[in-house]
């Protein structure tokens, strides 16, 4: 059959119609024909996949699953589960990002959660309420790491982590003296930047941290640890605040937003990307408000995030790259040929694979998470 819908499904950029098998337009998932979602996959084309993945292996008294991070290779999710009662109440887990199988991490019998995961999924970092393992008398949110899911290893400091490098070799945290700090697993070295206080994250290579300036809580800056240099981005003079939300693999590209106060009650938010040291304010299409970039791909070519839909008043997922600019993730999937119900909700996007192609959206409580893959 030949339809206009086949144009997007098959990746053509022009033409009134194209042809595809009849089962590609019957509003069903024909798995026997190779479809992976409704009227998509196999010979039906579609330049993206959409899958709702249910959790498996959860005890009946678990009431909530919270996901924190996706590994760079898009195979492992980390986070925690919360039980309806009992102690420990919150425990760390990792989850297969393809099957939803849940694995509980060793936790010395205390509360904790997993925050970060290396690109290959082998190193997980998080916290346990354990100052001195294995007895764990006292201590709250003490940083630990798990290697291949084995017995947790305490970091040589007691401060909650703010980020981890792609390899898991570098972590960043805010020190007791409220300085941005960096610790290297392979050397055991700790360094700090006294010009910065609350650290937010680190580049994939572990060399560039981003943090709040000690002299201005409304300005974030970059710390190039190899040289010790702290660089404040060239935020426009009209901005009363400028924040960094994510950086690429080597820290050369970063995204965030700035704020301009027009008067006591009116605020304008400007999402931006910085490449080669300059601030490029992004065009926000009509129908998007309060745009926040959340996660940048390793090469800095794509990010995901969130925006407020003023019509529905919902926070929705967005996508940006040079080719398409800012747009809702829903619109992008429809343009790639997916047939999603009009009431499909795609909440804020915070988890993105290193190559910028796999997006995971977290759902509430025990609902399945959404795994999306962009196929080009």
Domain ranges in the chain are 1-46, 238-359
Burial of 59 (0-12, 13-18, 19+ CB in 10 A): exposed
Q: Cβ(322)–Cβ(299) under 8 Å?
A: no
State how far the Cα of 113 lies from the Cα of 98, in Å rounded to an integer.
21
State how far the Cα of 195 lies from the Cα of 180, in Å rounded to an integer.
8
Q: Which of 221, 157, 210, 223 is nearest to 185 (CA)?
A: 157
Written as six digits, the tokens of 275 are: 């490449």
The DSSP-derived string for 327-342 is EEHHHHHHHTT----T
What's the pLDDT tens digit per position in 13-51?
444 545 757 767 765 676 776 666 667 766 776 899 999
Q: Cβ(258)–Cβ(235) under 8 Å?
A: yes
User: Would you give the distance in Å from CA 349 to the centre of its chain?
Assistant: 6
Q: Is 316 helix (H, G, I), strand (E, B) or coil?
A: strand
User: Would you give the distance in Å from CA 31 to the centre of its chain?
Assistant: 30
Mean pLDDT of 74-89: 95
Written as six digits, the tokens of 213 are: 């300036």
State how far the Cα of 315 lies from the Cα of 284, in Å rounded to an integer.
15
The pLDDT assigned to 264 comes to 84
State how far the Cα of 116 lies from the Cα of 247, in Å rounded to an integer.
15
pLDDT over 90 (residue 64): yes
* Contacts with 323 (C-beta within 8 Å, 6 or more apart), sequence order: none
Confidence of residue 343 (pLDDT cuts 50, 70, 90): confident
User: Residue 329 to residues 26, 242, 324, 372: CA-CA distances in angstroms?
Assistant: 24, 25, 11, 10
State how far the Cα of 318 lies from the Cα of 326, in Å rounded to an integer.
7
Burial of 56 (0-12, 13-18, 19+ CB in 10 A): exposed
Mean pLDDT of 325-342: 92
Mean pLDDT of 129-143: 93
Written as six digits, the tokens of 246 are: 């994510």
What is the length of the chain? 376
What's the pLDDT tens digit per position in 152-179?
999 999 999 999 999 999 999 999 999 9
The pLDDT assigned to 54 comes to 97
Q: How many CB atoms lie within 10 A of CB 115?
A: 22
User: Would you give the distance in Å from CA 246 to the centre of its chain?
Assistant: 9
Q: Cβ(220)–Cβ(234) under 8 Å?
A: no
What's the pLDDT tens digit per position in 176-225?
999 999 999 999 999 999 999 999 999 999 999 999 999 999 999 999 99
């Amino acid at each position: 059959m030949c339809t206009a819908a086949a144009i997007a499904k098959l990746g053509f950029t022009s033409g009134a119609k194209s042809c595809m098998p009849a089962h590609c337009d019957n509003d069903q998932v024909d798995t026997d024909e190779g479809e992976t979602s409704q009227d998509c996959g196999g010979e039906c084309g579609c330049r993206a996949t959409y899958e709702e993945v249910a959790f498996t292996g959860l005890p009946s008294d678990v009431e909530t699953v919270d996901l924190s991070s996706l590994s760079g290779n898009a195979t492992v999710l980390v986070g925690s589960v919360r039980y309806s009662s009992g102690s420990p109440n919150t425990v760390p887990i990792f989850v297969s990002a393809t099957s939803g199988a849940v694995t509980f991490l060793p936790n010395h019998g205390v509360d904790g959660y997993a925050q970060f995961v290396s690109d290959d999924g082998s190193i997980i970092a998080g916290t346990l309420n354990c100052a001195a393992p294995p007895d764990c008398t006292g201590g709250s949110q003490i940083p630990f790491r798990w290697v291949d899911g084995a017995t947790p290893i305490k970091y040589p400091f007691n401060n909650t982590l703010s980020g981890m490098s792609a390899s898991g070799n570098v972590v960043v945290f805010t020190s007791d003296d409220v300085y941005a700090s960096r610790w290297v697993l392979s050397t055991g070295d700790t360094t700090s930047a006294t010009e910065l206080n609350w650290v937010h994250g680190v580049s994939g290579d572990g060399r560039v941290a981003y943090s709040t300036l000690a002299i201005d809580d409304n300005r974030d800056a970059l710390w190039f640890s190899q040289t010790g240099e702290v660089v404040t981005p060239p935020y426009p003079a009209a901005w009363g605040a400028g924040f960094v939300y994510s950086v690429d693999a080597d820290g050369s590209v970063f995204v965030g937003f700035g704020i301009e106060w027009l008067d006591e009650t009116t605020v304008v938010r400007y999402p931006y990307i910085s490449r080669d040291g300059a601030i490029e304010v992004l065009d926000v299409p009509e129908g998007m408000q309060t745009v926040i970039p959340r996660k940048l791909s390793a090469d800095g070519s794509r990010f995901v995030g969130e925006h407020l839909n003023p019509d529905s008043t919902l926070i929705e997922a967005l996508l940006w790259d040079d080719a398409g600019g800012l747009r809702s993730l829903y619109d992008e999937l429809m343009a790639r040929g997916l047939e999603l119900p009009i009431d499909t909700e795609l909440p804020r996007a915070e988890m993105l694979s290193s190559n910028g192609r796999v997006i995971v959206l977290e759902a509430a409580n025990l609902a399945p998470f959404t795994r999306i893959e962009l196929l080009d």
